[in-house]
Amino acid sequence: MEKRIQIICGDITRQTADAIVNAANCSLLGGGGVDGAIHRAAGPELLAECRTLHGCETGKAKITKGYRLPAKYVIHTPGPIWRGGNAGEEALLASCYRSCLELASQYGCETVDFPSISTGVYRFPLDRAARIALETMADYLAGHPEIRRVRMVCFDARTESAYRAALERLENRL
């Protein structure tokens, strides 16, 4: 059987999935990194819809249409900025992944692709972020058969190998 959690290397704006996740900021009005790439690929209608949402709190998520993207929906979630680890960063990062998956379930998305939330300019330590991301996904999927597949779309080899190592550790534990 195909694994429900997969890791691939690539550009999330090119992926075909029911929903892709955007590592946004709280304004939801676009930014650099993956956020900028998603807005460029989706076209200006995405920003127009985002303006109607009035921002989003860290750890929560909001959904829009995908416009010119191959994905039907974009789920926007502001990840935590790493402040040394004592500011609730781990719980907030887990909450990002969980909130996105909850919205995916509500909107009937069977396939969801994630970028590595918070490990770019927000500087969350990569190995820790990978463990939290995959554990949160595995926990959620265990109780939600409606989600058929989630993928981590890693933009570079270092990110990909961190997620592969974390997935291996998780599978050995399960």
9 is a site residue for ligand ADP (CB under 6 A): no
Q: How far apart are CA 79 and CA 115, in angstroms?
A: 11
Among 35, 113, 127, 139, the one annotated catalytic: 35
Determine contact, residues 80/91, Cβ cutoff 8 Å. no
Residue carrying the six token digits 């933009």: 155
Q: Does 156 qualify as catalytic in the annotation? A: no
Identify the residue among 115, 132, 140, 162 touching ligand ADP (CB under 6 A): 115
114 binds ligand ADP (CB under 6 A): no
Does 23 bind ligand ADP (CB under 6 A)? Our answer is yes
Dihedral pair phi/psi, residue 121, rounded to 5°: -65, -20
92 is a site residue for ligand ADP (CB under 6 A): no
Main-chain dihedrals φ then ψ at residue 152, nearest 5 degrees: -95, 120
**Could you say which DSSP state residue 35 is in?**
H
In the complex, minimum distance from the CB of residue 26 to ligand ADP, in angstroms, rounded to a whole number? 11
For residues 4 and 151, is the Cβ–Cβ distance under 8 A?
no
Least distance between ligand ADP and beta carbon 10 (Å) = 7
Site for ligand ADP, rule CB under 6 A: 11-13, 23, 33-35, 37, 79, 115-122, 153, 155-156, 159
